[in-house]
Amino acid sequence: MSGIDTIVQEVIIASSPQSIFEELLIWGESSWWPKKSLMRFINLSGTREESSVYLQKTRLPFGPSWHTRNEAVDSKNLRIRRIFLDGMFEGFEELSVERLQDNVFKAVYAFNYRVKGLINKIMWNLVFKRLHIKNIDLILGSLKRYLERK
């Protein structure tokens, strides 16, 4: 897929890699998900495995929504890949856990995307991209606080 852009955001978390992965798996459905998040996840499959489908909706007036599907849920390598099925993006988002040093891990959110459509590209560059980055920072911070209090 040519013309793909990537935004990578991460947070260092003092927790076990398995605990971090388990929380990433319930991304959008967890008790720690920030109430002020601009993104709402609706699990349309009722499961959290490969092939689970989600509706992702922004909490903005006339904001975009799209469907995603878990393409990979790899508990051995601590990685989840969710592909965009429709909406304004092509590509995928990936959540993973990486070891920095002994007992120091980070949760990584990688947004690999291409924006479809001229109006979407304009809105993404003017408003949505900045809001997306700020929102992921909010989510990752909430995850960190939750896991480090456990």
Round to whole Å and give the CA distance between 114 and 116: 6
Q: 89: exposed, middle or buried (C-beta count within 10 Å: 0-12, 13-18, 19+)?
A: buried
Using the predicted structure, report yes or no on whether residue 94 has a pLDDT greater than 60: yes
Name the nearest CA neighbour of 109 among 35, 39, 59: 39
pTM (2 d.p.): 0.94
pLDDT of residue 103: 78
CATH of domain 5-149: 3.30.530.20
Every domain of the chain and the residues it spans: 5-149
Round to whole Å and give the CA distance between 46 and 43: 6
Round to whole Å and give the CA distance between 110 and 129: 14
Name the nearest CA neighbour of 103 among 8, 20, 9, 10: 20
pLDDT of residue 102: 80
For residue range 8-32, what is the model confidence (pLDDT) as tens digits? 999 999 999 999 999 999 999 999 9
